[in-house]
A and B are shown apart, each in its own frame.
Chain A
Amino acid sequence: MSGEPVAVTGLGAVSGFGWGVEELWRGVLSGASAIRDFHRFDHTGYRTHVASEVPDGPALDPEAGGPRLTLADRFALVAAAEALAGARLPERLEGAAAGLFFGSSTGGMFESEQFFAQLVGRPRRAPISLLSAQQPCGPGDAVARAHGVTGPVETIASACASATLALGAALDALRSGEIELALAGGSDSLCRLTFGGFNALRAVDERPCRPFRRERAGMSIGEGAAVLVLESRARAERRGAPVLAWLAGVGASCDAHHMTSPDPQGEGISRAVAAALADAGLAPAAIDFVNLHGTGTPANDSAEARMLARIFGARAPALPATSTKGCVGHFLGAAGAVEALVTVLCLEHGLVHPTPGEGTLDPGLGVDLVVGAPRALPAARRALSTNLAFGGANAACVLLHPEAA
């Protein structure tokens, strides 16, 4: 039941490490974390005072690109422009059979909160311009608008699995011939709703998150955007595009178990991984390393460890694994995008980045987490990236080295 892989020809990212892919890559390799004190809003009274915040940059100037753009729009626009330039594509895509598939959890919620705060105080003065791009589709629509996309434009808002599901929708649209080129990714900004919600769930760590450590006590929220340019093999070859990697398969499933807790046996995410492998036409043995969801919550990391054992069997304890969330926090609706993007870079450089986090590896999990320094895997050709979301939605994708397809 496998399908053709599609080429990844451009990458763009905005993260707590800065405005660009190079900043992100240097950051994740450094072993340091971008999770720290932050200033986006007053966080007095919350359980934690750390998050991964995108540093100031020219694109945050209210006049840049128009005053109605939200933070999440701005992250997405910068990432998309970088991805298109890297792919050696024009800024305008009217002439291409192009689509856009994004993930976002809250879109312009940060701005909506400002509107709402004014609305409950002085309703007549609350400026509705703050709400002009409130919904999760705001960032994706802004990118499609900026680049003249004429094909399908769709934002998936399935919490933390959104962007991986968007990669799947893009992959199928390319395979079916509906489009030849896709901007796939996601964007989310820090906001009180998400920060406060996870705070209320007691799912946040006071310290920067510690994925797969014995001491892990929850997640750290991040923000940013990641965009991948995807092209059909025919189009990429026709124009001699730089092929950075191949997106070979995406799989999805639902636990149908609980609103917040993953199936403790990791059965749901295992079915998503199995579906992604089948879609890519690969056996588990072909996978060289894994970029795990790795939020740092006790339940998530344990469910993922069970998944590794289910899928990879005896090989699981020796399968290199990493969690990008230890570096840049949880990008929520964009998590799958930044993690797929980092996985592409790991394949390209033959290096798996380390997962920051205090404490010692949880021996009960049996995960071969890369820590301290990057691990050289020059022969790595195939990698897996996983995401698990609220409501039991799971998604996984398989990425290949340029020479592996």
Chain B
Amino acid sequence: MTRAVVATGLGAVGPWGVGVEALAGCLAQGATRPVVVDRSAGYHAPGGARTALTASGLDLSALVPPASARRMSPPARFAVAALRLALADAGLANADHERTGIVVGTAFGPAFVTEQLLIQLLRQGPEAASPAAFTESVASASAAQMAMAVGARGPNLAITQRETSDLAALAEGARLVATGAAERVLVAAVDEMIPLLHAVLDRFRALARPGADGAEVARPFDRRRDGFLAAEGAAVVVLEAEPDALGRGARPLARLAGVVRGFDASAPAWDWGTGSGPLAATLARGLRRAGVAPGSIDLVVSGASGARRGDRLEAGVLTTLFGQRLPAVVAPKGTVGEPGGAHLAAALLAASGRAIGPTRGFEEPDPELGLRPSVAEKLPAPRRTLVSALASGGAATWVVLDAPEPSPARAV
């Protein structure tokens, strides 16, 4: 048995501020403030990326009271704050969560407490290790904190699948609602960016490097792209069965019309592969199963981030699937970076008819890619949006989001 699934609430916190309106403003205006990353620990190689989009200065106390915040790792605080915002947005701030599930997607997990614990264990000895740091270091700690914050007693899980963690979590959340295993699911995409992680990503040459003017710019699909912008934050999406949502008078942001998952076995563990053909075939097959004709898609919110090989793979999949009839492609990671949930939040915004701005950083087409992303300030509201996220290491998830029905009185 399966039930149609809709998204009825969205909350987000990140470098751009607190709340979805702040994110929408940032996407529209491109106003981001990269922060110079602290290199004092000596983790960084000389040269390389200097900045990240961090959210450490946010005041979340209205959403996460200090008495509970002190027990949480930074990503758990982001996730619980976004959770409060999402529930309010869905009109569920005071709902009972006995049968509410939680699915968290996180690329790197609670990095700061993990680093603390490693310093304690490896440099100071086992007696120095903090038990609280250990319990907060597990990848699922944010999922547990979210559950405790609202009393969500349904299925609770965390997925780590690198750059596709966010959409993988959305897919599993949709599965739990569709099967009835949960009444509703709160899907979170959450990560934090710390100097250690920034240094490691830079050593892998994953991050955008300073240009001639010193600025580090993520350039999705651009000929000169050389990496992504490291970011942090959280987004939470409320998923419900469509009849439940309509029954309580909720106004869905979007309807999940399909989920497709695939894997590119040509990818090495630390990078993207070259299997755009097989991935496109998997995507085409999955869309067919979902009853989604590629021609009915009028917007792609692409996970392209400015990664050299990642964007090439993404372009290959999209051009193979759509051929000459490529819809508008927007890559919000050019503005908001990754990870940290902003891609997922931007996709929901776009699918619900909000403008998410142009693909920032893109200026020069890459002749190898055969794809130019949209640089329009505003596109027509889509009826059907394809959201993509291809992960280094090989995993891929695509989600199809339909615009909400104009009238809620829709026959089921």
Contact = CB atoms under 8 A, between A and B. Distances in A.
Nearest to A203: B131
A390 B135 contact: yes
B278 A391 contact: no
B293 interface: no
Contacts, number: 245
Contact of B160 (A119, A136, A148, A271): A136
20 contacts: A45-B126, A100-B263, A120-B123, A133-B269, A145-B394, A152-B263, A156-B158, A157-B106, A165-B155, A178-B261, A197-B133, A197-B137, A198-B134, A252-B155, A254-B156, A256-B148, A258-B148, A389-B140, A390-B144, A393-B140
Nearest to B142: A391
B348 interface: no
B93 interface: no
A256 B153 contact: yes
Contacts of A251: 181
Interface string B118-156: 111111011101110111111111011101101111111
Contacts of B138: 105, 157, 159, 390-391
A135 B285 CA distance: 29
Interface in A161-204: 161-162, 165, 168-169, 172-173, 176-178, 192-193, 196-202
A135 B108 contact: yes
Interface of A: 1, 3, 45-47, 68, 94, 99-100, 105, 107, 113, 116-117, 119-120, 123-124, 128, 131-133, 135-138, 141-142, 144-145, 147-159, 161-162, 165, 168-169, 172-173, 176-178, 192-193, 196-202, 251-260, 268, 271, 275, 279, 389-393
B138 to A, nearest CB: 5
B147 A392 contact: yes
Given A128-B203, A393-B140, A154 B159 contact: yes
A120 B119 contact: yes
B144 A148 contact: no
B1 interface: yes
A217 B254 CA distance: 51
B45 interface: yes
B157 A158 contact: yes
Contact of B42 (A123, A135, A275): A123
Contact of A99 (B123, B157, B261): B261
B181 to A, nearest CB: 7
B107 interface: yes
A255 B203 CA distance: 40
B44 to A, nearest CB: 8
Given A192-B122, A256-B150, 9 more contacts: A105-B138, A116-B118, A141-B395, A144-B395, A153-B263, A200-B131, A254-B153, A258-B148, A390-B141
A191 to B, nearest CB: 10
B155 A253 contact: yes
B140 A159 contact: yes
Nearest to B205: A128
B263 A45 contact: no
A158 B172 contact: no
Given A150-B282, A390-B141, A120 B122 contact: yes
A138 B269 contact: yes
B137 A123 contact: no
A110 to B, nearest CB: 12
A137 B133 CA distance: 22
B121 A137 contact: no
A172 B175 contact: yes
A254 B155 contact: yes
A172 B171 CA distance: 12
B332 to A, nearest CB: 23
Given A153-B261, A192-B122, A158 B143 contact: yes
Interface string B196-226: 1000100110000000000000000000000
Contact of A156 (B125, B141, B147, B157): B157
Contacts of B181: 251-252, 275, 279
Contacts of A253: 153-156
Contacts of B135: 197, 201, 259-260, 390-391
Interface residues of B, number: 82
A198 B394 CA distance: 32
Contacts of A391: 135, 138, 140-141, 143-145, 147-148, 156
A142 B179 CA distance: 30
B322 interface: no
B33 interface: no
B121 A193 contact: yes
B409 to A, nearest CB: 28
B129 A200 contact: yes
A142 B180 contact: no
B162 interface: yes
Which 5 A-B pairs have CB atoms at the shortest separation, nearest pair first?
A: A391-B144, A197-B134, A152-B261, A252-B155, A157-B139
Interface in B301-349: none
Interface string B255-274: 00000011101011110000
B265 A169 contact: no
B182 to A, nearest CB: 9
B357 interface: no
A67 to B, nearest CB: 12
A168 B151 CA distance: 22
B125 A45 contact: yes
Contacts of A150: 262-263, 265, 278, 282
A45 B123 CA distance: 13
A271 B157 contact: no
A141 B122 contact: no
Contacts of A279: 181
A254 B154 contact: yes
A1 B200 CA distance: 47
A393 B42 contact: no
A157 B160 contact: yes
Nearest to A46: B126
B117 to A, nearest CB: 6
Contacts of A128: 200, 203-204
A98 to B, nearest CB: 9
Contacts of B119: 120
A165 B155 CA distance: 9
Given A45-B126, A169-B172, A393 B144 contact: yes
B121 to A, nearest CB: 4
Determine which residue in A132, A177, A253 has the highest number of CB atoms from chain B within 10 A of its CB, and name it.
A253
A137 B160 contact: yes
Contacts of B114: 193
B161 interface: yes
A186 to B, nearest CB: 13
Contacts of A198: 134
Contact of B265 (A148, A199, A268): A148
A252 B176 CA distance: 10
Nearest to A114: B122
A169 B155 CA distance: 11
A132 B203 CA distance: 11
A76 to B, nearest CB: 12
Given A45-B125, A193-B117, A254 B152 contact: yes
